[in-house]
Amino acid sequence: MVIVFDMDDVLVDLIEPWVQELNSKYGTHVSWNDITQWDMKIAFPTLTWEQIFSVLYEPEFWDKVQPYKEALEYLPKFYKKHKIYIATAAHTKTIDAKINRCLYKHFPFLTEDNIIMIRDKSLLCCDWIIDDNPENLLLSPGQTICIDKPWNRSYENRKQTYYEYRVNNLKDVYNIIEGGE
Ligand SMILES: [Mg+2]
On whether both 59 and 73 belong to a single domain, the answer is no
pLDDT above 70: residue 144: yes
Q: Check if the beta carbon of residue 21 is closer than 8 Å to that of residue 144.
A: no
Instruction: Provide the 8-state DSSP code for 148.
Output: P
pTM score over 0.75: yes
CA dihedral 44, 61, 129, 33 (to 10 degrees): -30
Q: How many domains does the chain have?
A: 2
On whether both 134 and 82 belong to a single domain, the answer is yes
Percent of the chain's residues with pLDDT above 70: 98
On whether both 57 and 109 belong to a single domain, the answer is no
On whether both 29 and 102 belong to a single domain, the answer is no
Residue 13 CA to ligand 1 centre (angstroms): 9
Tell me which of 6, 9, 131, 132 is the catalytic residue: 6
Residue 180: predicted pLDDT: 59
Is 8 among the catalytic positions? Answer: yes
On whether both 45 and 100 belong to a single domain, the answer is no
> In which domain, by residue range, is 119 found?
2-13+65-178
pLDDT digits 0-9 by tens, 65-81: 999 999 999 999 999 99
On whether both 105 and 118 belong to a single domain, the answer is yes
Residue 111: predicted pLDDT: 98
pLDDT digits 0-9 by tens, 89-138: 988 889 999 999 999 999 999 999 999 999 999 999 999 999 999 999 99
Q: Which helix (H) or strand (E) holds 115?
A: strand 115-117
